[in-house]
């Protein structure tokens, strides 16, 4: 890999068929937090080297094993969130150094599997650390990885940090938030505008650390010359819209200017969370120019015989509220909208049964909803006991 400041002349000559990347990264504590729980990294996977950023962007030339871009947003209170996001970045990079660099057959499928495996390893390490250190119980982090291999991006996603691709003045999200609001939008229970305005938009359904196992969402994207990748934590995406990201990317002449403008805008709008962004612009003979009809956006990448399965489970029992400054020791109760969504789903199952839907489809969906129904019953029982105790306390005369 070639790394040099963007102010230096580009040494790539004719016949250099690598993808060339101009990249910059920036993180900011925001206006409300007293410390930064976000982590980012950019790394050369050919040699395992981290890229250091100062005042100027860097220009990279990707070799056979590619490049890695990562943003992680930690949670858990005190130093736990910062520790979790830092561990995620370090474990992912170390795992790829150990496995991908020595991989015999370099292929798209092998690269995507390496990103997935590294993400799962990070989850296992963070989860085990929290078990062995009770003061960090509840620690977790999002992780959004973008790996450049050949002329294609591969993305591994856990949580709600995001990846956008800006092409021809249009920004499209390459990842899907693993959040309660996203699931309710997909279920038709909320509009995207309602979800964006909800005070429950910080409830995520997966993170690295809280559970022993995670399901990594793998996607991919064919790159074109001039494409710009944006990786960011929700401290940015929660305040800056996709069309604004696209406009800034088109107007900014350099990726460092783009990063600073995006962070400044998030802070102007309150900066309630840490703000982290990586901007990478792709060029070189290895990429073809954008043509009419080129599509970009969220596209799953199944490995081997795996097929993208329809997601029917809300996984509310495992939800984590990211903005809570203290570790979560209990299970947060589902929102009213989520409860209604689950009962609507149960009613739909009965309707399907009456209309002769296949038995295996009905049974699969019943199994998906059963944990939620049990959670609601338990929550109702706890509430009834609490109300009864409160009534008994008021009805009993105090002594003396």
**Across the chain, where does the E strand assignment appear?**
2-5, 20-28, 38-44, 49-50, 58-61, 67-75, 140-141, 143-149, 152-158, 162-167, 170-173, 203-204, 217-222, 228-232, 275-283, 320-321
Identify the DSSP state of 168: T
What is the distance between the alpha carbons of residues 231 and 277, in angstroms, rounded to a whole number? 6
CA distances from 337 to 159, 177, 190, 305 (A): 20, 18, 9, 36
- In this prediction, residue 54 carries a pLDDT of 86
CA distances from 123 to 23, 40, 88, 96, 229 (A): 27, 17, 7, 14, 25
Nearest to 143 by CA among 157, 129, 163: 157
Containing H/E element for 258? helix 255-268
State the greatest distance between any 2 C-alpha atoms of the chain, in Å, as a whole number. 95
- In this prediction, residue 324 carries a pLDDT of 43
Q: Which residue has the tokens 């963007």?
A: 6
- In this prediction, residue 357 carries a pLDDT of 45
Structure pTM? Answer: 0.77
In the numeric block, which tokens belong to residue 3? 């790394």
Centroid of chain to Cα 147: 14
- According to DSSP, the residues that pair with 273 across neighbouring strands are none
pLDDT tens for the chain, 400 residues long, are 444 444 433 444 556 789 999 999 999 999 999 999 999 999 999 999 999 998 899 999 999 999 999 999 999 876 799 999 999 999 999 999 999 988 778 999 999 999 999 999 999 999 999 999 999 998 999 999 999 999 999 999 999 999 999 999 999 999 999 999 999 999 999 888 888 888 788 899 999 999 999 999 999 999 999 999 999 999 999 999 999 999 999 999 899 999 999 999 999 999 999 999 999 999 999 999 998 878 899 999 988 755 444 333 333 434 566 654 333 323 333 444 444 454 455 445 444 444 444 555 445 545 554 555 555 555 556 656 655 565 555 554 444 3
CA distances from 320 to 22, 258, 326 (A): 35, 31, 11
């Amino acid at each position: 890999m070639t790394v040099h400041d963007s102010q230096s002349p580009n040494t790539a000559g004719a016949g250099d068929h690598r993808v060339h990347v101009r990249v910059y990264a920036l993180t900011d504590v925001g206006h409300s937090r007293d410390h930064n729980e976000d982590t980012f990294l950019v790394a050369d996977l050919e040699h395992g080297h981290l890229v250091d950023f100062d005042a100027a962007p860097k220009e990279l030339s990707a070799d056979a094993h590619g490049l890695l871009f990562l943003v992680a947003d930690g949670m858990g209170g005190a130093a736990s969130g910062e520790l979790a996001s830092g561990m995620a970045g370090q474990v992912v990079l170390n795992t790829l150094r150990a496995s991908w660099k020595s991989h015999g057959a370099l292929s798209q499928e092998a690269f995507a599997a390496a990103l997935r495996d590294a993400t799962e390893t990070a989850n296992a390490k963070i989860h085990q650390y929290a078990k062995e250190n009770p003061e960090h119980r509840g620690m977790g982090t999002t992780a959004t990885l973008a790996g450049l291999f050949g002329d294609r991006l591969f993305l591994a996603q856990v949580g709600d940090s995001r990846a956008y691709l800006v092409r021809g003045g249009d920004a499209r999200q390459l990842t899907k938030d693993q959040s309660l609001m996203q699931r309710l939008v997909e279920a038709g229970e909320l509009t995207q505008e309602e979800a964006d305005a909800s005070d429950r938009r910080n409830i995520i359904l997966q993170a690295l650390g809280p559970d022993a196992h995670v399901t990594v969402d793998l996607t991919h994207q064919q790159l074109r010359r001039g494409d710009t990748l944006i990786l960011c934590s929700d401290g940015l995406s929660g305040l800056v819209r996709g069309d604004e990201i696209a406009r800034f990317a088109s107007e900014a002449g350099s990726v460092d200017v783009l990063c600073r403008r995006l962070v400044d805008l998030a802070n102007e709008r309150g900066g309630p969370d840490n703000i982290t962004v990586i901007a990478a612009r792709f060029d070189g003979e290895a990429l073809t120019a954008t043509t009419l009809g080129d599509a970009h956006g969220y596209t799953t990448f199944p490995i081997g015989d795996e097929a993208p399965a329809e997601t029917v489970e809300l996984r509310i029992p495992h939800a984590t509220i990211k903005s809570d400054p203290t570790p979560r020791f209990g299970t947060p109760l589902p929102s009213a909208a989520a409860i209604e969504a689950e009962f609507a789903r149960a009613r739909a199952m009965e309707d399907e049964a009456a209309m002769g839907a296949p038995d295996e489809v009905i049974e699969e969906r019943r199994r998906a909803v059963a944990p939620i129904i049990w959670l609601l019953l338990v929550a109702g029982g706890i509430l009834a006991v609490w109300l009864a105790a409160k009534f008994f306390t008021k009805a009993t005369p105090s002594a003396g």
